[in-house]
């Protein structure tokens, strides 16, 4: 098979890019290792920045998002019994939208066939070849038969563990990494949320986050040591812990219910440079990971895709090779700022095992400053809604 752009991975990054390219009349094919159902079963992000909403809008795929998404005008930082509200709408004139990654992916998946976007699921052994040439190609196995896709560009949207980043020679790439000494235990349940706006809590027993997917579906997280096993966390134990860490006001409003999903995810900051090598571009988690504090991961994938689509459209529509050459620098400038925000909010809201009384006083001082300074709140708010693309 021959195409203009071969995309590896049908997560949100790969599907968004595929749709944006098809809308420009550029040929592309997406290859995905898993089944569509498996991709939809991964419970992940819940908070969308402007850029992510705008891309769905640009594609005319925002009907359900507009109808079902919850517009959030602010969020809260809790420290013991104190609650600091960040009035995002007032401070920035913008809002974020609560709408699950699963729903975005479903909307993109449902529109693929009608819009002529070919997605090949259950593609095994995907490998990238000749990425330093102008004629790169992918090989994969489907139903036991080996297949090949020739393209002008390959875009790696295959997440942190995919083969694309690994295809770049070690001598030209550089990784920056910070692994955190805890993970987030998440629980999804069909119960009304305890609060209309998100609450990120720093409690002496650890971190907690109250989030949601809708008025009837809640998403909560607590941080746990990486040695913890999910089997040791009954639903009751999780609800008890949330009630303590979120503080008495929120606790009084928590509705408990059986979990429909629970899992532990490790926290990591990671950036790979460059995000382009030869005819290969990387987008989303394939190139970088943020800890989930601040909800940046999916949104960064969306801004990468926005830059990549513009660069590829420049190449195919106007013969502009510079656009592709400049992709990495442009994308990384925004990536590093989101990395900084996610890292600083993670440091502010979690108790690290090595922290002593000094580090705790620093957290309290910073939270005091945020509570009383409009400038500090504005800094947080403008990062939370997403920096300009």
Q: How many residues touch ligand PHB (CB under 6 A)? A: 10
Decide: is 163 part of the binding site for ligand RFL (CB under 6 A): yes
Report in angstroms how near the CB of residue 123 gets to ligand RFL at its nearest: 6
CA–CA distance, 20 with 294 (Å, rounded to integer): 26
Decide: is 136 part of the binding site for ligand RFL (CB under 6 A): no
Separation in Å, CA 271 to CA 160, 172, 305, 325, 330: 10, 14, 16, 19, 14
Q: Which of 69, 61, 158 lies closest to 105, judged by CA?
A: 61
Q: Are strands 5-8 and 28-31 parallel, antiparallel or unpaired?
A: parallel
Selection from ligand PHB, ligand RFL, none that 284 binds (CB < 5 to 8 A by kind) is: ligand RFL
Contacting residue, 34, 139, 344, 379, with ligand RFL by CB under 6 A: 34
Where b means 16+ CB within 10 Å and e means fewer, 268-304 reads ebbbbbbbbbbbbbbbbbbbbbbbbbbbbbbbbbbbb
- Residues numbered 84 to 123 that lie near ligand PHB (CB under 6 A) are none
Contacts of 195 (CB under 8 A, 6+ apart): 76, 210, 250, 253
How many CB atoms sit inside 10 A of residue 332's CB? 21
CA–CA distance, 139 with 124 (Å, rounded to integer): 9
Decide: is 149 part of the binding site for ligand RFL (CB under 6 A): no
Report in angstroms how near the CB of residue 317 gets to ligand PHB at its nearest: 37
CA–CA distance, 382 with 374 (Å, rounded to integer): 12
Pick 47 or 56: Cβ nearer ligand RFL: 47
Report in angstroms how near the CB of residue 46 gets to ligand RFL at its nearest: 4
Q: Which stretch binds ligand RFL (CB under 6 A): 84-92, 160-168, 198-206, 247-255?
A: 160-168
Q: Which stretch binds ligand RFL (CB under 6 A): 31-39, 323-331, 335-343, 359-367?
A: 31-39
User: Using CB under 6 A as the criterion, what x/- string covers residues 39-58 for binding ligand PHB?
Assistant: ------xxx-----------
CA torsion 21-26-27-33 (nearest 10°) is -20
CA–CA distance, 353 with 355 (Å, rounded to integer): 6
Report in angstroms how near the CB of residue 321 gets to ligand RFL at its nearest: 25
**HSE-up of residue 2 (Cα within 13 Å, Cβ side):** 2
Pick 202 or 279: Cβ nearer ligand PHB: 202
Decide: is 88 part of the binding site for ligand RFL (CB under 6 A): no
Q: Which stretch binds ligand PHB (CB under 6 A): 26-34, 134-142, 222-230, 291-299?
A: 291-299
- Residues numbered 228 to 247 that lie near ligand RFL (CB under 6 A) are none
Cβ-proximal residue to ligand PHB, closest one: 46
Radius of gyration of the chain (CA): 21
How many CB atoms sit inside 10 A of residue 185's CB? 22
Report in angstroms how near the CB of residue 295 gets to ligand RFL at its nearest: 3
Decide: is 183 part of the binding site for ligand PHB (CB under 6 A): no
Strand-by-strand arrangement of the 137-142 sheet: 124-129, 137-142, 145-150
Q: Which stretch binds ligand RFL (CB under 6 A): 253-261, 271-279, 290-298, 323-331?
A: 290-298
At 286, give phi and psi (nearest 5°): -65, -30
Pick 137 or 248: Cβ nearer ligand RFL: 137
Residue 116: left if φ>0, alpha if ψ -120 to 50, beta else—which one?
Answer: left
Report in angstroms how near the CB of residue 319 gets to ligand RFL at its nearest: 29
Decide: is 51 part of the binding site for ligand RFL (CB under 6 A): no
Q: Are strands 153-156 and 5-8 parallel, antiparallel or unpaired?
A: parallel
Residues engaged in binding ligand RFL (CB under 6 A): 8-14, 31-34, 39, 44-47, 101, 123, 126, 157-159, 161-163, 184, 186, 265, 284-285, 292, 295-299, 301
Residues engaged in binding ligand PHB (CB under 6 A): 45-47, 198, 211, 219, 292-295
């Amino acid at each position: 098979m021959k195409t203009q752009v071969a995309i590896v991975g049908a997560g949100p990054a790969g599907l968004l890019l595929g749709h944006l390219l098809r809308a420009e009349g550029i040929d592309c094919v997406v290859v995905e290792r898993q089944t569509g159902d498996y991709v939809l079963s991964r419970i992940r992000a819940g908070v969308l920045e402007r850029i992510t909403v705008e891309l769905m809008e640009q594609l005319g795929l925002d009907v359900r998002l507009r109808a079902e998404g919850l517009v959030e005008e602010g969020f809260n930082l809790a420290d013991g019994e104190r609650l600091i509200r960040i009035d995002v709408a007032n401070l920035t004139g913008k809002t974020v939208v609560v709408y699950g990654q699963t729903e975005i992916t479903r909307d993109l998946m449902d529109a693929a066939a009608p819009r002529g976007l070919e997605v090949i699921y259950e593609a095994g052994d995907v490998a990238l070849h000749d990425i330093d040439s102008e004629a790169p190609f992918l090989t994969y196995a489907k139903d036991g038969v080996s297949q090949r896709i020739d393209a002008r560009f390959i875009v790696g949207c295959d997440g942190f563990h995919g083969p694309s980043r690994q295809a770049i020679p070690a001598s030209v790439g550089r990784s920056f990494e910070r692994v955190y000494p805890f993970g987030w235990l998440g629980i999804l349940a069909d119960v009304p949320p305890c609060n209309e706006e998100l609450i990120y809590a720093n409690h002496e027993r650890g971190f907690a986050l109250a989030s949601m997917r809708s008025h009837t579906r809640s998403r909560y997280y607590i941080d746990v040591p990486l040695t913890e096993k999910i089997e040791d966390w009954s639903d009751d134990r999780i609800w008890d812990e949330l009630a303590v860490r979120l503080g008495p006001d929120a606790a009084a409003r928590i509705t408990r219910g059986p979990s429909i999903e629970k899992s532990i995810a490790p926290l990591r900051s990671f950036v790979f440079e460059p995000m382009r090598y030869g005819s290969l571009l990387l987008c989303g988690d394939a190139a970088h990971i943020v800890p989930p504090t601040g909800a940046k991961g999916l949104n960064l994938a969306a801004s990468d895709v926005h830059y990549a689509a513009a660069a590829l459209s420049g190449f195919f529509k106007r013969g502009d090779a510079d656009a592709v050459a400049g992709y990495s620098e442009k994308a990384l400038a925004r990536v590093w700022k989101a990395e900084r925000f996610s890292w600083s909010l993670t440091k502010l809201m979690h108790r690290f095992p090595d922290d002593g009384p000094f580090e705790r006083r620093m957290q309290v001082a910073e939270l005091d400053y945020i509570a009383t300074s409009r400038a500090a709140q504005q800094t947080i708010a403008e990062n939370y809604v997403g920096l300009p693309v």
